A and B are shown apart, each in its own frame.
Chain A
Amino acid sequence: MRVERRDCFHLIEPLLPLVEKPARYLDHEWGACEDQSGPFHVCMVYADVYEIGQPNLGIAILYNQLNSCEGISCERAYLPWTDMISLMRERSIPLLSLESASPLASFDVIGFTLAHELIMTNVLEVLDLSGIPKRSIERDEDDPIIIAGGPSAYNVEPMAAVFDAVLLGDGEESIKDVARRIRDLRSEGASRAEILSSLAGIQCVYVPSLYEKVVDGTSTRWGYAVPIAGFDAPEVVYKRCEPDFAATEPIAQRIVPYLETVQDRLSIEVLRGCARGCRFCQAGMTYRPVRERPMEQIVDATSKALATCGYDEVSLSSLSTTDHSQCKEMLEELGKVVDDKGIRVSLPSQRLDSFGVDMAAAVACGRKSSLTFAPEAGSQRLRDVINKNVTEDDLEFAARNAFRNGWRKVKLYYMMGLPTETDDDIRAIVETATRVLEIGREVVGKGRKSGITVSVSVAVLVPKAYTAFQWCGQLPVEEVRRRQALLLASAPKDRDIRISYHDARTSLVEGALSKMGRDGFDLILEAWKRGCRFDAWSSEFSFETWQEAARAVGLDLEDVACEEFPLDARLPWDHTSPAVSKGFLQREWRRALDGVTTADCTMTSCTGCGVCQTLGVANVIQGERS
């Protein structure tokens, strides 16, 4: 029997004075959909605290889409922080949705967004707090159907046992197809198995229980998945892609939170996809092709949404905003809209090769806090390997323009552990950062008053599915540490260069989770049972517990994350595809080793990744890209 749907806010209300940031649990925000009459109820879950999950664009899109469907209501839920979780467990209070404060287990469908791999133990925590069986096969007829999607759904095998269905790619339409199908079949009295089998017939929907793992001489140790005989499931599930991006909602997130979130501003998705082709970047492959939103739509929607939401900042979000062919004009037009109201316009990060004088001046209409560039590698040789098509000159040019236009703080993002990386490449990171600082001092002047600082942040490469580096092993922890020490030792004794790097051990767990196949679930479950959750929070992450969990299930984290796969092996994720062809990725890998770059297809011609042909879509560029 399904848990009863009823308002249980009175259960958590007495706990609010006892927890940190009670505003996480209040609901009633401006713009939230208060009418939750259903009768078919969906809850979208971001399995982390409110302030991390609330700004998530994916959930916002699905929330609006579903709430606009006749007869379907959609609410939100987030994972409470550990203090609230403990109190809820002590008092046997189940996890509640925000809008109606109903138990999650009372919903028809629960959807998770997989924003990154380190969220997986939190998904289990959500299900456990909700009293919903963690494995798909343990669920009763009446239990909610558990679905998932998001950027990390392209290797969802380690969580295949959990999800009843996984949606690949753009969710605008597919979420409605899935919700309606479940609703209709449920009302016809179809069984859970019948519903799942029917979902597999919707394009982009992967139903893990209809597939089995095969390990043979053509596979890695994790095997590959094939449809179980007798089920009508596709051999390869391809993602959904919205060809007409201008027809989608420009501003999805219209709920104005009470508490400060990680992106506490209006966000407009100015384009989707990126064809720069950085070889480490999963999003760059999985969101193809590039679809720009027309400038007029962006300016109009921004101005309206600023008025209805009341934000004092708008972020032009996308994978690569300054690549938008109308970026400069767009910034100028937006500058006029926000002129006298103290509103800032921000860009997530700037392309080095397009940050010219005009662009610097146009971006300068907002507050000049810090400017972020991502050279990713220190040397030109290594930037060619990763296909980051920017040069030393681009960096110098961009830095000069930034300093001339009033910026004083520049952040530079790099990676470590890239294929073919040597100690010279590590030293080159420091050299480029030093060069940027020198340029700043040349332009603005020396001395502490000039306020010039260069912050260098170095992440560890985690090879991801559907990138040219998907066959690579991750760098072992000890070697990462040696290179990090080398980086610090090479840095000049100058307080205006600040160096930070990611924790090697967290990256190792992320690497293992990115690489595993179906059997990897045992590790995730064991880690969760031993107390792992909030793994993306350095205060909560426990490498020792992960190691113990791995030992308990007969695995070694380093052995998993650092394993190289043969180039011709069948991979654990081959059946859940963003439609980028394997041949293209193999070719990109070979070109990487040869240090040969591949051009951006929005600026030249098709470079043959296969997405457009397979899905019948195309790049949509509003103006001219150069």
Chain B
Amino acid sequence: MRQDLHRIRFAFPKSDRLAFLGHLEVISTIERSIRRADLPFAVSNGFARRMKVQFSSALPVGVSSKAEYFDLFLTEHLDEEHVLDLLGRYSPTALRPFAAAYVDGSLPALEAWLDRSSWVLDLGTSTDADAFEEGVRRLREQGSFTYLRGTKPKTVDVGESYVSHGFVASDGRLMLDLETLILPTGAMRPEAFVRACYGLSDQPDSAPEYLRCVRVAQHHLDDGNLVEPFQVSLPKLVD
């Protein structure tokens, strides 16, 4: 990284209707918010002169999140709270950043660095936890599964991507907590994992048509320890 640039990390939600934005749509919306806020962002050189900004890994369309992250490279060192406030004013509410802090410029790119994700999926009212549990066991035994992403078949290695899971009942609904690891070869979509479990369970038809899914946290896995995205700095939060 150029020495004269200042790398500031933001945390933002992806909520309400905007859960239905695709990753590129989130990126362009945030880049436009940054331009509207008139932040002194750095621009890459070369043929396509683009804003220097890096995002955490893509969320599938329809999946919401409590905290996504991006790093923006500024040409001036401005007060974090001021930057956060300014950007907040020009961002759609459902994507409005809620924390910001400068981080070390030499850290790896966010997408590869934040490799642990925690998810909550709503399995609805007609899923039996034991039956689903059996599906998970069979899938782990099988080791991998293949699903259609658009029209292309994609094979996922469950052994490496799956970390753990657990259940919580809420208002008569069965909620699944799922921990996954993002591999250099790609991320396992929680919905695909869950549908594969249903497929192998004894109640394949109890899967809800729409699986509501929220990413509740992201971490960096460092030698078995979970590192918070802002642990490398001190975040400034707004209420």
CB within 8 Å of B: which residues of A?
Answer: 13-14, 16-18, 21-23, 26-28, 30, 256, 258-260, 264, 306-312, 340-342, 367
Contact = CB atoms under 8 A, between A and B. Distances in A.
A342 B32 contact: no
Interface stretch (B19-27, B138-146, B153-161): B19-27
A28 B92 CA distance: 8
Contacts of A309: 32, 36
B200 to A, nearest CB: 23
Given A18-B210, A256-B32, A312-B31, A342 B50 contact: yes
Interface string B3-29: 000000000000001101110110011
> Which 9 residue pairs of A and B lie closest in terms of their CB atoms, listed nearest first?
A310-B32, A310-B35, A342-B49, A22-B20, A310-B36, A342-B43, A17-B210, A17-B62, A26-B17
B176 interface: no
B209 interface: yes
Contacts of A21: 22
A23 B20 contact: yes
Given A258-B29, A340-B43, 17 more contacts: A18-B209, A21-B22, A23-B20, A30-B29, A256-B32, A260-B25, A306-B35, A310-B31, A310-B32, A310-B33, A310-B34, A310-B90, A311-B32, A341-B43, A342-B43, A342-B44, A367-B47
Interface of B: 17-18, 20-22, 24-25, 28-29, 31-36, 38, 43-44, 47-51, 61-62, 90, 92, 94, 209-210
Contact of B210 (A14, A256, A259, A307): A14
B25 A23 contact: yes
Contacts, number: 78
Nearest to B26: A258
A259 B25 contact: yes
Given A259-B25, A367-B48, A30 B31 contact: no
Contacts of B51: 312, 342
Contacts of A256: 29, 32
Contacts of A367: 47-49
A586 to B, nearest CB: 50
Contacts of B47: 367
Interface centre among A14, A17, A30, A341 (most CB of B within 10 A): A17
A339 to B, nearest CB: 10
A13 B62 CA distance: 11
19 contacts: A16-B20, A17-B209, A22-B62, A23-B21, A23-B22, A28-B17, A258-B18, A259-B25, A260-B28, A264-B28, A308-B36, A309-B36, A310-B31, A310-B34, A310-B35, A311-B35, A312-B35, A340-B43, A367-B49
Contacts of B94: 28
A258 B26 CA distance: 8
A241 B235 CA distance: 57
Contacts of B25: 23, 258-260
A121 B2 CA distance: 56
Given A22-B62, A258-B25, A260-B24, A307 B38 contact: yes
B50 A22 contact: no
Nearest to B20: A22
A30 B43 contact: no
* Residue of A26, A256, A307, A310 with most partner-chain B CB within 10 A: A310
A266 to B, nearest CB: 10
Nearest to A258: B25
A22 B24 contact: no
Contacts of B21: 23, 26, 258-259
Given A28-B92, A341-B43, A16 B62 contact: yes
A205 to B, nearest CB: 38
Q: Which of B20, B36, B38 has the most CB of A within 10 A?
A: B20
Contacts of A17: 20, 62, 209-210
B173 to A, nearest CB: 16
A256 B90 CA distance: 12
A83 to B, nearest CB: 14
A307 B22 contact: no
A367 B25 CA distance: 22
A17 B208 CA distance: 12
Contacts of B209: 17-18
